[in-house]
Structure 1
C-alpha cells in the first residue's frame, strides 16, 4: 500500500481514448495539486534542494504494532523501536517519524525560494502468522475505531477497502493507493484488472508500481543472475501499456516509484551501476503522460545501487531541464 502525504486538490479524470494519443488532455486535469507530471525520489536533503523536485519518498516496512497501547501512548518506549511508529525514538510520540518528514518536505526550498514538496510513503506491513482475522482486527487504538472495519468482509478485499476508507476519513488531505503486485501481468493483465477491482482500487486515489528494485547493470552481473533488465523501446512500451490499462480499468492515474537511478556513464561498481530508465523516461515524457502516469519517483531499491548522490548529477540535471521546459501536462 502506498500513500502520498501533504497534498489535496485532487481532480483527475481519464481523457477519452480517441484524444489521448493526439495531444488530448485538459489544463484542469490535476493530481495532488499539480497539472504536470510530478518528479521526485528518495534522496538526501542536499539533493532535494539541488533541483525543483516535487516529491520525496521513503519506504516503511515493519511488523504492525502488537497492541493498541502503542497508538494511544503519549511517548514511545525503547522496546518499541522495531515498530515504524517509534523509529523517531523514545522521546517522541508514536508516528512522529512520518509527521516530521511530512513537515520537513513541506519546508523545502529551491534556489533560496520556498518550493514545498510532497512526501510519498510506501508502507509494507508484515503480519505474523496466526495473528487473527484480517478485517475485524484492523480497528482499535489511536486514530481509528473498531467499527471502522466492522462492516467489511473478513478477507484481503475487506481489509484493503477498510484501509482506503480509514485513510480518507482520518487524513482527508492524503491520497492513498495500492501497489501493483501483478508479477505475471505480461500474461494475465485481465486477471490483474479484475483482482484490483475486487480489492476496491476504484475507491483509492491511484495504483502505484515500482519499475525495478535494482539497477540493470547490477542484475546483468553473473553473480546477480545475469539478467537483461535494460529497457528497449519495446520493453518500455509494454510496461507503459500495462500502466495505462490499469489506470483506465480503475479510473485512476498511476504513480511509478523506485525507478533505478543508474545511467550509462556509470562503471558497474558499488553505487555506480548502469541503467537506462532515467534517460528513457525524460526523453519520452509524452508517452509517460499518455499512459496516465502522474508521478515519476526515482530511487535505489537496495544500498549497493546507484543513488541520486552517486549518479554524477544526471537526475538532478534532467529534472532541472524538464522543469525549465515547462514540465509535462497530465492526461
Structure 2
C-alpha cells in the first residue's frame, strides 16, 4: 500500500520540476529502442504459454536485455544508459465533465483556478505554462524520455487521490458515483490522447486492483459496483457495471486512444490479505497465493494486457525500521524469510498464471552506505537486483524500475551516487538476457 501526497503546484513552476521523482530501496555494504505496439491479443489462456515471454516482450520494445529505469530528474536521466524513465500521475481532476481546453481561463480543480495567476491547481493537465494546450506535462515528459533514447513509462494513480475518500475501502465507493467516474474516465482518456501514437508503457492504477480484491468478502471484482455505463457509455457501454468491467474498459480505452502503448496492471503481494512479501513461514504455499492474485487480475482484463508490474516495498527498509519500528528487510543471503528468492517465486507464479512477463516497479533506492535519515535511508534492493539480474530473468522478470514511494524516501539524487554507479556497472557487464533456464 502506498500514500502519495496530493500535488498542489503553481502551474508555471512545474515547467522546472515536471519530472520530479517519487520512489526508493537497497542492502549491500558497498554504496552501492523504443517499445512496439499493442498486446499479444485477447483471450490468452492463463499459464499455457511455453515460449519465452520475457524475450518476446523485450523484442517488441526493441530490446534484448532486462530493462533498468527509474523515476528521476533530468540530470540523472542523462547520467547513465537507462532504458526506461517513469512518471507518476497522482493528483486531482478537473471540475468540468471533460478535460479543460485551456489552463488560462475557465479551468478549475477542486475549485482552484488552473491559470498561472492563481495558486495552482491539482489537475496534472495544467502543471505547465497556461498558454500551452493542457497536457504539456505528459507530452514534454514523453519527448524528454525519447530524446534520451529512453522508453517513457507512465504510472496512472489517480482514483484514490481524486476521490476525496480515505485510502482503501472508502475510496472504492467513488467508483459507483457516476459524476465522479465520468470525470475520472475522461481524465484517463485525456491522458491517453496525450500519448497518442507515441510508443510508451502505461501502468494502470497500482493498489486499486488489490483493494478491489482485498475488501469484498468473496474477493471478486463483480462484488464492487461501478457506475460504468452511466459514466462513459461511449467507451464502456458494453462492459459490466462492476470492477471487472472497469478494468476491461480502461484497457480497451488504452488500445483505442494510445494504440502503440504497452499496457499493464499491477499485482500486489498483499491483495489476498496475506502479505507474501513479509511471509516468514517456510511451509506457506507462495505460488498458490500468487495464483489468487493472478486469477483476480484475469477477471479484470489482464489477459488483454502486455505485462504486469510487481513491487517489493513503497518505502526504504531503514525508514520502516527507524520511523515505524518494524522490519521491511529481505535477507540477501536467502537463508531467513522473508528473502529475495521468496519474492521471485511469487512473481514467477503470477507470470505463469497470467502468461505475461512481470516488471519490478517502484523499487526502493536506499543503500547500506547511507546515514539512515530523511531521504537517505538504508535498503538493499538496488544492490541486490542489479547484481543478481539472472535471478530476476529466471523468474520471468523483464526488468526493474526504481523510485521513491513518497517525499521522505531515498531518490536517485540523494543516494550518494550508488544507483547510477550500479546501473553503469550492469550495462558495462553487458546486461542480462531474458529467460534464464
Deviation of the 1:89 alpha carbon = 4.5
Of 286, 289, 311, 2:415 maps to 311
Deviation of the 1:7 alpha carbon = 2.6
Matched, 1:203 2:304: yes
Q: Distance between the aligned counterparts of 1:294 and 1:201, measured in 2?
A: 17
Deviation of the 1:181 alpha carbon = 2.8
Tell me: CA distance 1:290–1:9, structure 2 relative to 1, closer, same or farther (3 Å). farther
User: Does the 8 Å CA contact 2:392/2:399 hold for their aligned counterparts?
Assistant: no
Counterpart mapping for 1:191-270 below 5 A: 191-221=292-322, 223-232=323-332, 233=334, 235-270=339-374
Tell me: CA distance 1:190–1:140, structure 2 relative to 1, closer, same or farther (3 Å). closer
Higher relative contact order, structure no. (Cα contacts within 8 Å, ≥ 6 residues apart): 2
Tell me: CA distance 1:65–1:146, structure 2 relative to 1, closer, same or farther (3 Å). farther
How many residues align? The count is 314
| Structure 1 alignment gaps of length 5 or more | 1-5, 109-115
Counterpart mapping for 1:178-189 below 5 A: 178-183=265-270, 184=274, 186=276, 188-189=289-290
Deviation of the 1:90 alpha carbon = 2.6
Deviation of the 1:97 alpha carbon = 1.0
SS at match of 1:283: coil
Q: Deviations over 1:20-73 (max 9, x none)?
A: 8xxx985895252212111110111111111101111121112344433425x1
Tell me: CA distance 1:151–1:9, structure 2 relative to 1, closer, same or farther (3 Å). closer
Tell me: CA distance 1:151–1:26, structure 2 relative to 1, closer, same or farther (3 Å). closer
User: Does the 8 Å CA contact 1:136/1:154 hold for their aligned counterparts?
Assistant: no
| Structure 2 alignment gaps of length 5 or more | 1-33, 115-120, 165-172, 194-231, 277-285
Tell me: CA distance 1:11–1:292, structure 2 relative to 1, closer, same or farther (3 Å). farther
Deviation of the 1:185 alpha carbon = 5.2
Deviation of the 1:19 alpha carbon = 9.3
Matched, 1:324 2:357: no
Deviation of the 1:133 alpha carbon = 4.4
User: Does the 8 Å CA contact 2:365/2:381 hold for their aligned counterparts?
Assistant: yes
Counterpart mapping for 1:117-136 below 5 A: 117-125=150-158, 126=160, 127-128=163-164, 129=173, 132-133=177-178
Q: Distance between the aligned counterparts of 1:210 and 1:28, measured in 2?
A: 19
Aligned to 1:112: none
Of 102, 113, 120, 2:142 maps to 102
SS at match of 1:268: coil
Aligned to 1:175: 262
Counterpart mapping for 1:35-54 below 5 A: 35-54=64-83
Q: Distance between the aligned counterparts of 1:253 and 1:135, measured in 2?
A: 33
User: Does the 8 Å CA contact 1:10/1:30 hold for their aligned counterparts?
Assistant: no
User: Does the 8 Å CA contact 1:101/1:119 hold for their aligned counterparts?
Assistant: yes
User: Does the 8 Å CA contact 1:51/1:319 hold for their aligned counterparts?
Assistant: yes
Q: Deviations over 1:268-318 (max 9, x none)?
A: 122221111111111211110111211211122122222211222111111
Tell me: CA distance 1:11–1:123, structure 2 relative to 1, closer, same or farther (3 Å). closer
Moved more, 148-157 or 269-278: 269-278
Deviation of the 1:87 alpha carbon = 2.0
Tell me: CA distance 1:25–1:151, structure 2 relative to 1, closer, same or farther (3 Å). closer
Give the TM-score of the pair, scaled to structure 1: 0.84
Q: Deviations over 1:256-275 (max 9, x none)?
A: 11111111111212222111
Greater per-residue strand proportion: 1
Q: Distance between the aligned counterparts of 2:48 and 2:239, measured in 1?
A: 34
Tell me: CA distance 1:147–1:11, structure 2 relative to 1, closer, same or farther (3 Å). closer
Aligned to 2:90: 61
Matched, 1:165 2:252: yes
Give the TM-score of the pair, scaled to structure 2: 0.65
